[in-house]
Amino acid sequence: MDKIRGSRLKPIGLVKDSIGVTVDEAWRKIANFAVEPSVTLPLRGERTAEHVNTHWRQLARDAGIFSDNETFLITVVTTGSGDLGWVEVQLTPETDVSRLRDDQDRIEFIARSHSGHHVCGVTAEEYDYWIVSLPMDE
């Protein structure tokens, strides 16, 4: 939860019995070798973090990830996060998703709509960040 708070997302609470894809299913779909990124950005760059934040917000908004009150579900990469599952959070004007970094200091997370119809995540690949927006099959 510290990483979530550090990104200036407002944590609402843990989600136990949600409909739609699980955290593990979402990671398998996002990390699938056949997936094409919606946006790629260099891992290193003067404004990479800013660009990740901006592009992710736009793709997530376009995909309907955010509810009317700007809430959605998220999972971050950190030790023990697999056991945590989805966390309901609220977007704030100060939110900076580039602060959601893994143990290797790379931006990695997946956001999911409440309905489970769509995910939008950021993964660190060999030389680039991939921002991936995917509809989920029911």
Split at pLDDT 50, 70, 90, the class of 70 is: very high
**Structural domain containing residue 42:** 2-135
Whether the Cβ atoms of residue 78 and residue 100 lie closer than 8 Å to each other: no
pLDDT computed for residue 15 by the predictor: 86
* Rounded Cα distance, 79 and 35, in Å: 25
Q: What is the mean pLDDT of the chain?
A: 90
* Rounded Cα distance, 136 and 65, in Å: 12
pTM of structure: 0.91
Q: Is the pLDDT at 121 greater than 90, yes or no?
A: yes
Tokens at 27, concatenated: 């990671």
Q: Into how many domains does the chain fold?
A: 1
